[in-house]
Amino acid sequence: MAKPTVMAIAHRGASAIAPENTVAAFDEAIRLGSSAVEFDVRMSADGVPVVIHDDRIDRTTNGHGRVADFTALDLRRFDAGSWKGHRFAAARIPTLEEALLAIADPVIPVLEIKVHVPAAVLAELLLRRNAAARAMVISYHAELLAPLKALLPKLKIGLLLDDWSKDPLRPARALAATTVVANVRCLTMEHVAAAHAAGLKVWCFTANDVGLVAAMAAMGVEGIITDYPDLIRSQRG
């Protein structure tokens, strides 16, 4: 294949290899040639955006409790890597700013907003770290994306979908989204064609085997979110 036709988007970094949502996972994703790195954003008790998927720290650190009950400094004290292997014992929960520093141009940072994050805080960080022009911000919740889009009209945003039972294209268009990001279990060729006809790109999540990657690419999706970004022949930039 002389020209790549689909983007490799590393799911929480190269999370099959390194501990998810850590700088180690982001570094591994970039080493493997990912076009983009997806990660999850929540808020600490002192109002700092931090990178972790769950609302609790129990599954991916050696601590216990709710993310929102710890300050950003408190969260840094937990080991976020040993569960994946002793060599990752130094891994910590990164702040959003650290994630943006780790995922350098031309790789695209893809921020999944899990909870309310003040739009002004997000916009300031994206602008200060020169990421606003290349970043993508995605969420299941349109109300979390709309204020950010109002502050940064040129920002690329995507609406996450777990099913296609209701028309998802109308809210995506209302948001001026560029992309719908759909669960592979609900995606069909007809859905992809309808999104393209509406002027929207289609990404899918989470495709972790060669056959599923090939099927999604054949449907015409532009991006595949995967724990194994090396499954996809991709191109940065």
The span from the CA of 226 to the CA of 117, in Å, is 25
Torsional sign, CA 225, 32, 217, 137: positive
Torsional sign, CA 158, 162, 164, 165: negative
Active site residue 53: yes
3-state secondary structure (DSSP) of residue 116 = coil
Active site residue 191: no
202 C-beta neighbours (distance < 10 Å), count: 23
Indicate the residue type of 52. Answer: I
The span from the CA of 83 to the CA of 53, in Å, is 15
Count CA atoms within 13 Å of residue 59 on its CB side. Answer: 8
Catalytic (active-site) positions? 11, 53
